[in-house]
Protein backbone atom coordinates (compact mmCIF):
# COMPACT_ATOMS: atom_id res chain seq x y z
CA UNK A 1 0.00 0.00 0.00
CA UNK A 2 2.99 2.29 -0.29
CA UNK A 3 3.39 2.24 -4.08
CA UNK A 4 2.84 5.73 -5.59
CA UNK A 5 0.24 4.24 -7.94
CA UNK A 6 -2.10 3.60 -4.99
CA UNK A 7 -4.14 6.61 -3.92
CA UNK A 8 -6.01 7.08 -0.65
CA UNK A 9 -5.91 3.52 0.68
CA UNK A 10 -8.52 2.85 3.35
CA UNK A 11 -9.45 -0.04 5.59
CA UNK A 12 -13.03 -0.96 6.46
CA UNK A 13 -13.81 -0.35 10.13
CA UNK A 14 -17.51 -0.94 10.70
CA UNK A 15 -21.01 -0.72 9.30
CA UNK A 16 -24.21 0.63 10.87
CA UNK A 17 -27.79 0.23 9.65
CA UNK A 18 -30.89 2.06 10.82
CA UNK A 19 -34.23 3.56 9.75
CA UNK A 20 -35.61 7.01 10.44
CA UNK A 21 -38.95 6.72 12.23
CA UNK A 22 -41.90 6.22 9.84
CA UNK A 23 -39.67 5.91 6.74
CA UNK A 24 -39.32 2.27 5.61
CA UNK A 25 -36.02 2.81 3.79
CA UNK A 26 -32.92 1.39 5.44
CA UNK A 27 -29.87 3.63 5.73
CA UNK A 28 -26.37 2.14 5.84
CA UNK A 29 -23.28 3.97 7.07
CA UNK A 30 -19.82 2.49 6.53
CA UNK A 31 -16.75 3.76 8.33
CA UNK A 32 -13.30 3.51 6.77
CA UNK A 33 -9.96 4.51 8.19
CA UNK A 34 -7.09 5.96 6.23
CA UNK A 35 -4.13 3.59 6.12
CA UNK A 36 -1.56 6.38 6.22
CA UNK A 37 -3.56 8.83 8.33
CA UNK A 38 -5.93 8.90 11.29
CA UNK A 39 -8.81 10.24 9.19
CA UNK A 40 -12.17 8.48 9.40
CA UNK A 41 -14.34 8.49 6.26
CA UNK A 42 -18.08 7.81 6.44
CA UNK A 43 -19.86 6.58 3.34
CA UNK A 44 -23.63 6.75 3.47
CA UNK A 45 -26.19 4.90 1.40
CA UNK A 46 -28.71 7.76 1.33
CA UNK A 47 -28.95 11.51 1.69
CA UNK A 48 -32.01 13.33 2.99
CA UNK A 49 -33.82 16.12 1.18
CA UNK A 50 -37.28 17.26 2.22
CA UNK A 51 -39.47 19.21 -0.22
CA UNK A 52 -41.10 22.17 1.52
CA UNK A 53 -38.34 22.53 4.06
CA UNK A 54 -36.08 25.57 3.73
CA UNK A 55 -32.43 24.78 3.13
CA UNK A 56 -30.34 25.52 6.15
CA UNK A 57 -26.74 26.59 6.15
CA UNK A 58 -24.55 23.66 6.93
CA UNK A 59 -21.32 24.14 8.77
CA UNK A 60 -18.19 22.90 7.04
CA UNK A 61 -17.21 19.56 8.49
CA UNK A 62 -13.84 19.24 10.08
CA UNK A 63 -11.82 16.17 9.34
CA UNK A 64 -12.95 13.45 11.73
CA UNK A 65 -10.35 11.33 13.47
CA UNK A 66 -12.55 9.19 15.72
CA UNK A 67 -15.17 6.66 14.60
CA UNK A 68 -17.75 7.97 17.08
CA UNK A 69 -17.30 11.59 15.99
CA UNK A 70 -17.63 10.74 12.32
CA UNK A 71 -20.68 8.54 12.85
CA UNK A 72 -22.39 11.09 15.11
CA UNK A 73 -21.82 13.88 12.61
CA UNK A 74 -23.56 12.02 9.77
CA UNK A 75 -26.42 10.66 11.91
CA UNK A 76 -27.02 14.09 13.47
CA UNK A 77 -27.32 15.67 10.03
CA UNK A 78 -29.92 13.14 8.90
CA UNK A 79 -31.91 13.32 12.14
CA UNK A 80 -31.81 17.14 12.26
CA UNK A 81 -33.43 17.49 8.83
CA UNK A 82 -35.97 14.75 9.65
CA UNK A 83 -36.95 16.41 12.96
CA UNK A 84 -37.18 19.87 11.36
CA UNK A 85 -39.58 18.48 8.75
CA UNK A 86 -41.72 16.79 11.42
CA UNK A 87 -41.77 20.01 13.49
CA UNK A 88 -43.02 21.83 10.40
CA UNK A 89 -45.92 19.36 10.22
CA UNK A 90 -44.71 17.41 7.18
CA UNK A 91 -45.55 13.70 6.98
CA UNK A 92 -42.51 11.40 6.62
CA UNK A 93 -42.08 9.93 3.15
CA UNK A 94 -39.64 7.44 1.67
CA UNK A 95 -38.99 9.97 -1.10
CA UNK A 96 -37.13 12.11 1.42
CA UNK A 97 -34.21 9.69 1.12
CA UNK A 98 -32.21 9.70 -2.10
CA UNK A 99 -29.84 6.85 -2.84
CA UNK A 100 -26.19 7.79 -2.99
CA UNK A 101 -25.00 6.62 -6.44
CA UNK A 102 -21.41 6.57 -5.15
CA UNK A 103 -22.16 4.20 -2.28
CA UNK A 104 -20.38 0.88 -2.85
Domain with 67, as residue range(s), is 10-99
How confident is the model over 89-100, as pLDDT tens digits? 999 999 999 999
How many domains does the chain fold into? 1
- Residue 57: pLDDT band by 50, 70, 90 thresholds? very low
Q: How many CB atoms lie within 10 A of CB 30?
A: 17
pLDDT of residue 56: 57
Tell me if residue 63 falls in helix, strand or coil: coil
Is 76 part of any domain?
A: yes
* Radius of gyration from C-alpha coordinates of the chain: 16
Q: 81 in a domain, yes or no?
A: yes
Does some domain include residue 29?
yes
Quick one: pLDDT band at residue 86, thresholds 50, 70, 90? Answer: very high
Helix (H, G, I), strand (E, B) or coil at 85: helix
The reported pTM is: 0.77
| pLDDT computed for residue 69 by the predictor | 84
Burial class (CB in 10 A: 0-12, 13-18, 19+), 77: middle
Position 38 in a domain: yes
Amino acid sequence: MTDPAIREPMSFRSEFKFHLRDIPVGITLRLYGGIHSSTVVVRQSHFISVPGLDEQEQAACEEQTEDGEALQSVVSGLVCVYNAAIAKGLKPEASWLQSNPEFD
